[in-house]
Amino acid sequence: MTTEAPATATARRASYTSAIYGVVSIAAVIVAWEADGNEWHLIEVISGYLLALWLTHSYAALVSTGQFTPWRRVLAHEFPVAGAGLPALGLAVLGQIFRWDIEETSDLALIACAVTLLAIQASLLRHLGAGRRRLVLTILCDMVCAGVIVSLHVII
């Protein structure tokens, strides 16, 4: 287990929390998305949601401190909430470039969300020095969440 200043540990934990929230939110957006004949719609929905998520988190962080903080610093601090969705956006863009079937592209974007979530959690658990039991519990929780998301994707 690593030791670091409490403020640094809190900031790091907030970044992981934001990234996890961001990737799970993007997965929910992809599940709720419906193909409507507009080839760019998936890209528009993901990028629009990422931008809105990033800006609203940045605004909330800016006004909640009660201190003047430069926008650039706030935007950089809040980037993990949007950055976690970039792999899904990248796959949506690749799907458009290579003319993949839009439904398959959305499935790949969901898989990108799952892989990103696992990578974020593995990094967090490694940083915390967590043991095998914690890793197994995290994976089980991920599998339950993934089952819910996939079920919603199939139902919707």
What is the number of structural domains in the chain?
A: 1
pTM of the model: 0.86
| Of 91 and 61, the one with more pLDDT | 91
- Across the range 42-51, mean pLDDT stands at 97
DSSP-H helix ranges across 1-156 = 6-32, 41-64, 71-83, 86-97, 102-128, 132-155
* pLDDT computed for residue 4 by the predictor: 61
Tell me, yes or no, whether 1 lies in a domain. no
User: Angle at which helices 71-83 and 41-64 pack, to 10 degrees?
Assistant: 140
- Across the range 103-131, mean pLDDT stands at 91
Domain holding 80, by residue range, is 6-155
Tell me, yes or no, whether 37 lies in a domain. yes
| Of 3 and 111, the one with more pLDDT | 111
- What tens digit of pLDDT does each residue of 68-96 get? 888 899 999 999 999 999 999 999 999 99
